[in-house]
Amino acid sequence: MKNIILAVLMVATLGVSAKTITKQILVKGECGMCKEKIEKALDMPGVSFAEWNAETKMLTVRYNDKKVTEDKLHETISTLGYATDKMEANKDSQGKLDKCCQPKKPACASEKAGCCQKKS
């Protein structure tokens, strides 16, 4: 009888040790289509909430650390073709994104940099 009670207590404490974590992750997407793709990809076991804000580029994600790791979240987003604050985008996947979802090239800082050549 003691063994059964001990086993039940051990199983009960295992469930308690798993915790729900809420993180904010920078995801370099561009538009509403990106939002749909990112949030849909994170509809996985262990993730209870995922919402990406196109203006701030911040993803808020709530997950069970026993079912999914933070590294897995970054890897999933990278595989879609989006860079995060910890992982570069998968280049092959990034190249297959819709044109509006492609990373925007930064504006030229100066003509001396050679990228702002005036066309004659």
CATH number of the domain within which 25 lies: 3.30.70.100
Specify the pTM.
0.74
Is residue 67 included in any domain, yes or no? yes
- Degrees (nearest 5) of the Cα angle 53, 59, 63? 140
Is residue 11 included in any domain, yes or no? no
The total number of structural domains that make up the chain: 1
Q: How far apart are CA 33 and CA 37, in angstroms?
A: 6
Q: How is residue 78 written in tokens?
A: 């990278």
Which residues make beta-bridge pairs with 51? 60
Question: For residue 50, what are the domain limits?
Answer: 18-90
Name the band, by pLDDT with cuts 50, 70 and 90, for residue 104.
confident
Output the pLDDT for position 12.
53
Name the band, by pLDDT with cuts 50, 70 and 90, for residue 119.
very low
